[in-house]
Structure 1
Amino acid sequence: MAVLDARRAGPAGTYYDSRFDAYAAKVLPGDYAVAADARMLVTLLGSCVAACVHDPLARVGGMNHFLLPGVDGASGESARYGSYAMEVLINELLKRGAARQRLQAKVFGGAAVLPSMKVGNVGERNAQFVLDYLAAERINVLGSDLGDIVPRRVHFFPATGRALVKRLPAAERASVAADETRYLSRLRAKPATGSVELF
């Protein structure tokens, strides 16, 4: 578990992780973050997918975290949906000096952790969606850890493109599934409208 060191001041919205000697920012479901400094982006994934995209020359990168590929094949104007989450992440990178032809990606998640969604195979659909999207955009996938039944914690360093993934023990699967179920309930209760939603 990352710990906050109040004696060290970091960028707003970050905490200090002593294991990595780095400031970290959490990327929650339906969210994304872009940075060009030494901070680390961290997320916890079950059925959700996170794309970590990086430009090695501009030294800028970002991460998103989405639960659904799209709205019945449409994009939906919310970062809860993969199609929009990918578009907004790439656009933010381009605004910060990245070049589309240099972008590289690493993708994670898409596990089968939600019993209520095994029929729809949302994790598998998310994993296939992100690979198809990146192929269509001609963004090279340098690494991936997708599928299976295990949740994952991902640590991504946007400035360097370094990504670390930890497969979590079965004991943590129920907790991740409960978090995603609560998130899914919020999505059903609040239809997607407007631009990016932050949770």
Structure 2
Amino acid sequence: MNSAVIAPPAGSYYDATLKTHAIRILPADYLATDQPVALVTLLGSCVAACLYDPALGLGGMNHFMLPGGDVNDATSARYGANAMELLINDMLKRGARRQRLLAKVFGGGNVLSGFHSDPIGTRNAGFVVDYLRAENIRVVASDLGDNQARKVCFFVQTGRSLVKRLPATRDGVVDAERALYGRLARAPAAGTVELF
């Protein structure tokens, strides 16, 4: 008998505080699963949409950085439209039914200074709400906006979520976002090469 060893997904760890296995969802990433895990991410101006099908105990999370989409790279989850489509399609492939999907959305904090007239956090938050409304996916919980970063934990089998607002002085989140947006500004506008 040949038994294959399945490697745990990237970002897997045991979270002693939550007392469960967890998977970190990084910016421009998404994951759908029916395993008994918590999906965990850290958000500033980015948004995470957590979707689940309560009948199947199947859920997922994305973490997008910019609203809208990129027709040149539909596989990039850094854009909201792409991240939402990737997550929804992955869940549907695993048996979820669109009419049963429920959503919880988090993030969109205006943590970056210098973006006062059209802050990215506000645009991301508005995008996810509008997108889900257009797709007839009911939002059952949200924590969007303000000027704070958040740590989000989402238990995929139950849909339970935990949000911890982080102090506005937490420079690590702001520094990481500035670096990410700086790399995006230097990345090529088209083509298959992506500098990250």
Once the two structures are TM-superposed, the CA of residue 193 in structure 1 deviates from its matched residue by 5.5
Alignment RMSD (CA, Å): 2.2
Q: Once the 2 structures are TM-superposed, how far is the Cα of residue 194 of structure 1 from its aligned partner?
A: 7.2
- In structure 2, C-alpha distance between the alignment counterparts of 1:39 and 1:75, rounded to whole Å: 33
The C-alpha deviation readout for 1:58-85, integer Å capped at 9, x for no partner, is: 111100001110259x695221100110
Q: How many residues align?
A: 187
57 and 193 in structure 1: CA distance in 2 versus 1, 3 angstrom threshold? farther
Structure 1 contact 75–81 (Cα < 8 Å) conserved: no
> Given residue 98 of structure 2, which amino acid in structure 1 is its aligned partner?
R
Structure 1 pair 12–82 and aligned structure 2 pair: CA distance change class (3 A): closer
For residues 145-156 of structure 1, the aligned pairs below 5 Å read 145-156=143-154
Instruction: Give 2:3's aligned residue.
Output: none
CA contact 1:76–1:192 (8 Å) conserved in 2? no
1:183 pairs with 2:180: yes
Structure 2 CA distance for aligned equivalents of residues 80 and 161 of structure 1: 23
Residues 123-138 of structure 1: pairs in structure 2 closer than 5 A: 123-138=121-136
Match of 2:159 among 154, 158, 161: 161
The aligned counterpart of 1:7 is none
* Cα gap change, 1:120 to 1:104, in 2 (>3 Å): same
Query: After superposition, what is the alpha-carbon deviation per residue over 1:64-112, rounded to whole angstroms, capped at 9, x for unaligned?
Result: 001110259x695221100110010000000111000000000000011
> In structure 2, how many angstroms separate the alpha carbons of the residues matched to 1:81 and 1:48?
10
How many angstroms apart in 2 are the aligned matches of 1:69 and 1:22? Answer: 32
2:21 & 2:190 partners in 1: Cα distance? 33
> For 1:141, which of 139, 142, 155 is the aligned residue?
139
Render the CA deviation track for 1:158-188: whole Å, top value 9, x for unaligned: 111111100011221x221110111111212
Aligned-pair identity (%): 55
Alignment of 1:1-199 (within 5 A): 11-13=8-10, 14-70=12-68, 77=74, 78-172=76-170, 174-191=171-188
* Unmatched 5+ stretches in structure 1: 1-9
CA distance in 2: counterparts of 1:168 and 1:101, whole angstroms: 34
Q: Is the 8 A contact 1:48 1:68 kept in 2?
A: yes
SS class of match (1:115): coil
Please state whether the residue corresponding to 1:93 is helix, strand or coil: helix
TM-score (structure 1 length as normaliser)? 0.87
Q: Secondary structure at the match of 2:169?
A: helix
